[in-house]
Amino acid sequence: MLAIGLLLWTAWQNVETNLAVRKLALGFDFLRQEAGFGIPFTIIPYGETDTYLRVFLVGLTNTILASILGIILATILGFVIGIARLSPNWAVAKAALIYVETVRNLPLLLHVLIWYNVAIRSLPPARQALGLFDSIFLSNRGIFVPSLQIGLGWGPLAIVAGVSTLSVVAILRHARRRRDETGQGAAVALPIALTLAATSFVLAAWGGVGISWPALQGFSFSGGMALSPELAALVIALAIYNASFIAELVRGSIEAIGKGQREAAASLGLDRAKILKLVIIPQAMRVLVPPLTNQYLHLVKASSLATVIGYPDLVNVFVGTSLNQTGRAIEIMTMTMLVYLSLSLLITGLSNLYGHRIRIVER
């Protein structure tokens, strides 16, 4: 402890000396200064006359967006590949094995560059865009998909979404309680569908709801939601790369469940799909959650590789451009480190909460 304290004191003295030489002082007043540069992709409104604080928020939201999309896609793909690894079909199992061994043994940075320079940028221009069902379009300007337009403000929308979410959670909790008490599952599809239908009716009656479809106008598309080429390449690379590791975690978790569990379930007349869904996966999740959390943490931190393809994440616009313009290295690096630390702690906390809910309760 004494050595660490001496090291920190020495480092602080060095910082003070260097700041005095450059005639700088620590502080966050620069956040109120005008940034003066544009950002090509933003979720929240932003202009060149906005402050560095706005730049920080733009970078933060862009980082969170890429991380959430990457986690969702990587989880879905990882589960599919992991289950395919255990398929009794020889071709399916070997195809999944080839995917895992090929993808996970290449650097993530290479994945990002390949998907951006070779795949996304090689797509045709907007006028010759590849269309899927005449509603999704792929071009070198990005991926254009339909988007939901809701006329409500953020406050009323949060209230409606919160009530709907609580209703769905209550339905699922009731079904779980009934299964624990009686051993019989409750039908949840119809109540959830009715809840979602009621939510849609309220949204339509209160503030109006509609779908915006992308349509070609001039040299680009208008309407819908556009995923920039940089965001699309980053999300695809993160999802495919991390899915190869998640697939192995899923395979290992399933194989950790004793063979007797499968044999007992089969003796009850359950087919392979129901054995997997009702017996194996629920138990495997207890084994899977801790290593899966580590993979999510890696994905969030790896999203900072976005800067190599120009996606305006937090590292690109705040640690890069903002730091170069203001010279506030200590303040900017401290804020950036706190953001990644907070995101990681949030993911860890949610995973621990979920792990606590699915733990085995001894009577």
3-state per-residue secondary structure call for the chain: CHHHHHHHHHHHHHHHHHHHHCCCCCCCHHHHCECCCCCCCCCCCCCCCCEHHHHHHHHHHHHHHHHHHHHHHHHHHHHHHHHHHCCCCHHHHHHHHHHHHHHCCCCHHHHHHHHHHHHHCCCCCHHHCEEECCCEEEECCEEEECEEEECCCHHHHHHHHHHHHHHHHHHHHHHHHHHHHHCCCCCCHHHHHHHHHHHHHHHHHHCCEEEECCEEECCEEECCEEECHHHHHHHHHHHHHHHHHHHHHHHHHHHCCCHHHHHHHHHCCCCHHHHHHHHHHHHHHHHHHHHHHHHHHHHHHHHHHHHHHCCCCHHHHHHHHHHHHHCCHHHHHHHHHHHHHHHHHHHHHHHHHHHHHCCCCCC
- Estimate to the nearest angstrom the gap between the alpha carbon of 318 and the chain centroid: 20
Question: What is the reported pLDDT for 326?
Answer: 87
pTM assigned to the model: 0.81
**Which pLDDT score is estimated for 55?**
93
Residues in the chain, pLDDT under 70 = 150-154, 183, 185, 206-209, 361-363
Partners of 148 in beta bridges: 211
Res 199: pLDDT: 81
